[in-house]
A and B are shown apart, each in its own frame.
Chain A
């Protein structure tokens, strides 16, 4: 199968464009997906013998559309008279032969697909599941495993999402410029959620985690090709690349969390860091800062420090202050406090996060940071209480084990 590795990659790469075009013809997600599936089956037979077609996406669209049309006609003969308007319209499209897929059609088809998955009527969990299924082409089994839910439940989530989209009716039109800009934010948020599901270590299955983070990167690149001049899209892509560059160093051989400061930085992925930094350079030229760009700039300061002690915490503190203005949230303030502790000491940081205690009372990281600051200030009993609370809120054994290390240190120093 090794020699056919390129076929699989070509299909994955062609998928968003091909399913997007098929959705334009059939205005139904299931039909578009089935047509693409059928085209892939035929490609697996034809390509190894004939070699790859010059434009694989156009080939898959053409073959998929004909296969689905045959199916529609066959069913129409059995059931009722064909819908004249529908068929003649499709015949016209067919006579255009393999679509000349120019830039505009490419862009519109992919946008349509992404916007359908991020339909405003769908809750986030359904948007993510649908995008992973329809755009990335993950199997229901893979998605279920990544989200730690049963396969039947995930199948139902996707079916429900499709039913909601079908019920909403519209959404298959090519969106106008204003609509595009408005909905781009939703798509960016969906992509970052996919990435974070993989990055946040909520699952203890490293393979499932890695896959979601990679799908997030893949979706980000897709989006960047459709919006090549949008600085926030560049910022999100840079942010994901710089975070994922650290993935090889984030867990030790036993699966335990390794904090940023203790990570072996020689294991960070240099090509990913280079790409992330290049995208920040491009984004900055637009002089339209946004939350993703600022977060990417923070990640870049970590990436640029060869050793943990070289980190420019003053600059990180300033960037977090910026982020607090752009996107105020207690979690941002909590992150800023980590930088403040480095620059102005633990007492200043503690004063900054204590007002957040109510709002973040169920947030694992709050109690972890709180405990660490109290420990630095030698308030050992209070630190112990905070760490106990963190363990109770830990999502994974790795998170709990990490906090337990702090407690062990407390025991040894007590």
Chain B
């Protein structure tokens, strides 16, 4: 079974970490990553830019592009894509394509990725289609 682990924290607090504390924490986290990678259990890892860099496409009869992160509490995170785009406009266009394929309620938050580690899992661990 593949699991996604989604990281939540206060970005204000993480943004206020001292350099020492940041470096020490990252060293501890990388140790966990390295162990998982050695065991062949690590897939892609991404660190996202702050929510201030986010844009949200709200689905509906009239789509809305909103500055900022997804803020509804009545909807849940159901999945995510990592896509390569030349610009924010291109990313919004891709979100529109997804919205057309899956119309109705919901939103797509478009958040630039700060760091990306594209580790791959061994093929046999892919989830059953």
Contact = CB atoms under 8 A, between A and B. Distances in A.
Given A274-B112, A278-B88, A278-B112, A221 B14 contact: no
A13 B53 contact: no
A237 B67 CA distance: 15
Given A8-B18, A229-B67, A13 B10 contact: yes
A218 B115 contact: no
Contacts, number: 78
B50 A221 contact: yes
Contact of B53 (A8, A229, A282): A282
A282 B114 contact: no
B67 A228 contact: yes
A229 B52 contact: no
A225 B15 contact: no
Contact of A271 (B10, B16, B87, B115): B115
B17 A275 contact: no
A284 to B, nearest CB: 8
A8 B13 CA distance: 9
A406 to B, nearest CB: 35
A249 interface: no
Contacts of A6: 13, 17, 21
B68 interface: yes
Contact of A278 (B14, B53, B65, B89): B53
28 contacts: A5-B17, A5-B20, A6-B17, A8-B16, A8-B18, A9-B21, A10-B16, A12-B16, A13-B13, A13-B15, A13-B16, A56-B10, A103-B71, A221-B50, A221-B52, A225-B52, A228-B67, A229-B67, A271-B114, A274-B114, A275-B53, A278-B88, A278-B112, A281-B87, A282-B55, A285-B65, A285-B88, A285-B89
Given A9-B17, A10-B16, A229-B67, 7 more contacts: A5-B18, A13-B12, A228-B52, A237-B52, A271-B49, A275-B49, A278-B49
